[in-house]
């Protein structure tokens, strides 16, 4: 098997001709494709784990005797851990090398999966999910940074289209596999199945990947790490605890207020440092900023709808985990089917209209889901889940391809960490907020089915989020994304030097 290319030996020339020609040559070599395969497998494992848990939430609630809002911590803790660890992944990968960091992250995820499978209490399971999220939160942005470095901007849409198709296999099969395991075996097997996948990724990574380091990365920003990770962790804890403790409780108010203070201090500190933990000045790039905002809102509405559709089927309707899996899996099939077409459209029309259309589709679909009742045909709900997948495909691929169009190689680690941190944090916050909506609407009683009207309010909240995304997506400019669109002229840009 060929070895991956070590792109760290190439001089960073922004979007000049030398940098693009080198990246173009790398994109044609089998090693670049190998990076995509490994990235796809890592994403497969991470996505599979986040999706397969959804159909087991009811079983976990009954086995551990906790309310629906509380069992959401199995999802929320995982997403929180991912968001926090993603923040430091850029520096860690650049400083210690993408290969060792990636392999350690995969190993952490795999071991944590085994520990989740043998957990004997809800607190123990949540702790293991945090460890599992730490592995996922590091391996995903590091692997994506490798892909972005291996391919030039105008080749990324095609690559991301193929990657999205492969990644769609995970959420497409996760509900079915999870439903079968929960129905005919036990929820513990939903974690055990990660072990062989993690082993395959580790072996491939050892023999395929070479290292990439950024010699200019500088020392670790301890102050920034304490402020940023502490603030983000407290914020996610506050919104995750609020549905059960109350939004006006002392715990929520105290942790939430402290989080805002720490995040404000983090922003001021990072803007002043020459070598920050996260170079948030990248958000000054208009295209990167609005693409990041778009993917954040899209993932809130999309992921939140999947989680609560699964709960709606099992809790409100009383159907089985298998029925829940069969209901939600069409969304991933849709992503796999339309990603190639979206990639081709991106090359012709750019991101602006695709993203706007995707948000309008999300708003329509979640609005229709809010009308589902106890006697609504599950085939209608499945059709809506399929449209949910189609809609998010029109947002996910264009934002990922366009966001990094003007980001140079040396800043890719920073950009990937920021992009993934904000995306994952929003998904976690979204699930927590939607859990609060469900609780306020009467869905927080142990062993009592929540009223279907409570889920109506959840889906209507997602509709509002999608409409906000539609408005803000108007700020994404096709002309700014020209480097990522084949056939568009590209003006060479020099990378701005960090300021003190």
Kindly report, residue by residue over 367-394, the tens digit of the pLDDT: 999 999 888 898 999 999 999 999 998 9
- Counting the structural domains of the chain, the total is 1
pLDDT single digits (tens) 210-265: 666 666 656 677 787 788 878 887 887 787 777 667 777 888 889 889 989 998 99
pLDDT single digits (tens) 68-93: 666 777 877 887 787 778 777 777 87
Neighbours of 118 (CB within 10 A): 12
Instruction: Tell me, yes or no, whether 268 lies in a domain.
Output: no
For range 267-285, the mean pLDDT:
81
What is residue 265's predicted lDDT score, i.e. its pLDDT? 92
What is residue 325's predicted lDDT score, i.e. its pLDDT? 75
What is residue 76's predicted lDDT score, i.e. its pLDDT? 74
pLDDT single digits (tens) 150-159: 777 767 776 7
Tokens 């968001």 belong to residue: 83
Q: At 223, list the tokens.
A: 């102050």
Of the listed ranges 21-30, 66-75, 357-366, 443-452, the one predicted with least confidence:
21-30
Instruction: Tell me, yes or no, whether 2 lies in a domain.
Output: no
Instruction: Tell me, yes or no, whether 246 lies in a domain.
Output: no
Cα–Cα distance list, 13 to 16, 55, 407, 492 (Å): 6, 48, 11, 9
Between CA 430 and CA 161, with CA 52 as vertex, the angle to 5 degrees is: 75
What is residue 211's predicted lDDT score, i.e. its pLDDT? 67
What is residue 18's predicted lDDT score, i.e. its pLDDT? 38
Hey, is 3 helix, strand or coil? coil
What is residue 355's predicted lDDT score, i.e. its pLDDT? 94
What is residue 255's predicted lDDT score, i.e. its pLDDT? 87
What is residue 22's predicted lDDT score, i.e. its pLDDT? 38
What is the rounded CA–CA span in Å between residue 299 and residue 420? Answer: 11
Instruction: Tell me, yes or no, whether 50 lies in a domain.
Output: yes
What is the rounded CA–CA span in Å between residue 5 and residue 317? Answer: 52
pTM over 0.75: no
Instruction: Tell me, yes or no, whether 237 lies in a domain.
Output: no
What is residue 218's predicted lDDT score, i.e. its pLDDT? 62
pLDDT single digits (tens) 206-221: 887 766 666 665 667 7
pLDDT at 453 over 90: no
Which has the higher per-residue pLDDT, 185 or 490? 185
For range 159-164, the mean pLDDT:
69
Binning pLDDT at 50, 70 and 90, where does residue 166 land? Answer: low
Task: Name residues whose C-beta falls within 8 Å of residue 260's C-beta, 6 or more positions apart in sequence.
Answer: 231, 235
What is residue 457's predicted lDDT score, i.e. its pLDDT? 92
Of 411-415, 420-424, 434-438, 473-477, which has the strongest mean pLDDT?
Answer: 473-477
Give the closest residue to 22 by CA, choosing from 338, 408, 384, 394.
408
- Within 404-451, residue ranges assigned H as helices are 412-440
Tokens 């919104």 belong to residue: 239
Domain extent, residue 160, equals 13-220+277-484
Q: At 445, list the tokens.
A: 């009683």
Burial class (CB in 10 A: 0-12, 13-18, 19+), 138: buried
What is residue 318's predicted lDDT score, i.e. its pLDDT? 82
pLDDT at 26 over 60: no
- Within 9-121, residue ranges assigned H as helices are 17-27, 30-52, 57-64, 68-71, 73-96, 98-117
What is the rounded CA–CA span in Å between residue 228 and residue 452? Answer: 39
Which has the higher per-residue pLDDT, 469 or 94? 469
Q: Looking at residue 375, which CATH number applies to its domain? A: 1.20.1250.20
Instruction: Tell me, yes or no, whether 230 lies in a domain.
Output: no
pLDDT at 472 over 90: yes
On average, the pLDDT of the chain sits at 78
Instruction: Tell me, yes or no, whether 143 lies in a domain.
Output: yes
What is residue 38's predicted lDDT score, i.e. its pLDDT? 84
Instruction: Tell me, yes or no, whether 245 lies in a domain.
Output: no
What is the rounded CA–CA span in Å between residue 135 and residue 107? Answer: 8
Residue by residue, DSSP assigns 237-255 as HHHHHHHHH-TTSHHHHHH
Q: At 481, list the tokens.
A: 């994304």
For range 175-196, the mean pLDDT:
83
pLDDT at 312 over 80: yes
Tokens 């190639």 belong to residue: 340
Cα–Cα distance list, 323 to 42, 368, 389 (Å): 27, 20, 18
């Amino acid at each position: 098997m060929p070895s991956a290319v070590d792109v760290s030996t190439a001089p960073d020339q922004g979007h000049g001709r030398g940098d693009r020609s080198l990246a173009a040559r790398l994109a044609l070599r089998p090693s670049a494709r190998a990076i995509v395969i490994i990235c796809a497998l890592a994403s497969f494992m991470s996505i599979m784990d986040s999706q397969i848990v959804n159909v087991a939430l009811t079983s976990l609630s009954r086995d551990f005797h906790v309310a629906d809002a509380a069992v959401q911590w199995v999802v929320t803790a995982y997403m929180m851990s991912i968001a926090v660890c993603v923040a430091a992944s850029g520096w860690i990968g650049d400083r210690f090398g993408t290969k060792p960091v990636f392999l350690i992250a995969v190993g952490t995820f795999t071991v944590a999966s085994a520990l989740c499978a043998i957990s004997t209490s809800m607190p123990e399971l949540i702790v293991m999910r945090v460890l599992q999220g730490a592995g996922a939160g590091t391996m995903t942005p590091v692997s994506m940074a490798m892909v972005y470095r291996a391919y030039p901007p105008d080749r990324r849409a095609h690559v991301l289209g193929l990657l999205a198709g492969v990644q769609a296999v995970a959420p497409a099969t996760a509900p079915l596999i999870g439903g079968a395991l929960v129905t005919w075996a036990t929820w513990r097997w939903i974690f055990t199945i990660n072990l062989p996948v993690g082993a395959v990724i580790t072996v491939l990574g050892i023999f395929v990947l070479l290292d990439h380091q950024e010699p200019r990365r500088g020392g670790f920003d301890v102050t920034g790490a304490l402020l940023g990770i502490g603030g983000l962790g407290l914020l996610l804890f506050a919104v995750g605890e609020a549905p059960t403790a109350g939004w006006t409780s002392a715990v929520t108010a105290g942790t939430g207020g402290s989080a805002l203070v720490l995040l404000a201090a983090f922003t001021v500190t990072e803007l002043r440092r020459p070598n920050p933990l996260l170079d948030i000045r990248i958000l000054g790039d208009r295209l990167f900023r609005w693409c990041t905002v778009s993917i954040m809102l899209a993932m809130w509405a999309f992921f939140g709808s999947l989680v609560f559709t699964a709960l709606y089927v099992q809790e409100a309707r009383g159907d089985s985990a298998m029925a829940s899996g069969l209901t939600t899996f069409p969304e991933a099939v849709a992503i796999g089917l339309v990603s190639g077409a979206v990639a081709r459209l991106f090359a012709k029309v750019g991101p602006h209209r695709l993203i706007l259309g995707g948000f309008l589709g999300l708003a329509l679909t979640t609005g229709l889901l809010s009308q589902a009742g106890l006697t609504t045909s599950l085939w209608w709900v499945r059709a809506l889940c399929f449209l949910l997948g189609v809609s998010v495909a029109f947002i996910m691929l264009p934002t990922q391809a366009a966001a990094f169009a003007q980001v140079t190689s040396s800043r890719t680690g920073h950009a990937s960490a920021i992009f993934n941190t904000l995306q994952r944090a929003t998904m976690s916050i979204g699930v927590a907020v939607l859990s609060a909506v469900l609780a306020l609407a009467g869905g927080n009683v142990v062993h009592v089915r929540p009223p279907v009207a409570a889920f109506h309010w959840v889906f209507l909240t997602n509709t509002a989020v999608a409409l906000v995304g539609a408005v803000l997506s108007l700020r994404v400019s096709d002309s700014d994304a020209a480097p990522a669109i084949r056939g568009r002229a590209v003006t060479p840009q020099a990378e701005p030097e960090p300021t003190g």
